[in-house]
Structure 1
Amino acid sequence: MQIIFLSPGWTILSIFVLWPLLQYTAALLCHKFPDALYTERTFLFRTFSFEKEGQLYAKVFRVNRWKHLLPDGSIKKGEDRYEKKHLSDFSEEGLQKFLLESRRAELTHWLALPFFWVFGFFTPPLIVFYMLVYAILVNLPCILVQRYNRPRVKKLLERKKRRETR
């Protein structure tokens, strides 16, 4: 329900300023949450049987064909930055860190999805619908990539652990 009426120019400017701020807020929140929240036992981060170890995303959404086009959205800079785009540390610790950051990234995008409703305060209902579509188009691909990658990295980690116990 629109309660703030802005000129078209201010409305457009507000949309362009607010979306990045809201996305950044979701990312900042997820970096403030304790790492203990991001375990595979948490319902959101489980791999479900229908996902077929991530293959659902490869077959239905062809994630492996376009995932390289997505940016690495880490908000940290410098040495603390963890880049998920290219897995470079194949140690057990490195793979565990990747899984943790993958869960954090997924939650960030889930939390960013519902922010579309904020635009209802100062835009007409049709624009709110467009904001919902935008939120889905921007965040869902990132969620799909995390759901696709995590089971594969987990399998790699399990294989690595088995080899080390031999």
Structure 2
Amino acid sequence: MLRELRELPRAVWPRAVVYGAIAAVLIGIPSDLIDTPIFGRPIDARWLDWVILAITSALIGLIFAIRPPSSAETGTEAAVERQGTTTLWGGLVSFLAVGCPVCNQAVVALVGISGALSWWAPVQPIVGLAAVALLVWTLRKRLRTYRTVACLIPTA
């Protein structure tokens, strides 16, 4: 996979930085890792929350930056759309992994505030690993789709 990343055109990398920054802002502001007056976080962020945010944002940026040339005969449009949907799910799981455990209303409704602190907070790093795994899987599929479409052999 690293070799495939190195072989990407140079135009992909600036797009990846922009998309990654957008992903970091879209995940970081509502989870209050990026401090704003709109959202508050009663539980301090852990160092691991920052690591998960950085890794998942970089992966999301790469996935969205790698856009295979469209080709109706190869059916890549459907594959790219599924990969985009999987990327959005990865972003949502990342948000759940880095968010404040007692600010997640669904978790508080299911297990209460004490359950959110004693049950959900210890599980969040595992959820973060799941987000990273989902996004790495999606990136591999995106690279495979890119390689397949970008290197089409003309038919006679």
Return the TM-score normalized by structure 2.
Answer: 0.42
Question: Which structure dedicates a bigger proportion of its chain to helix?
Answer: 1
**Could you state the TM-score of these two structures normalised by the residue count of structure 1?**
0.39
Structure with higher RCO (Cα < 8 A, 6+ apart): 1
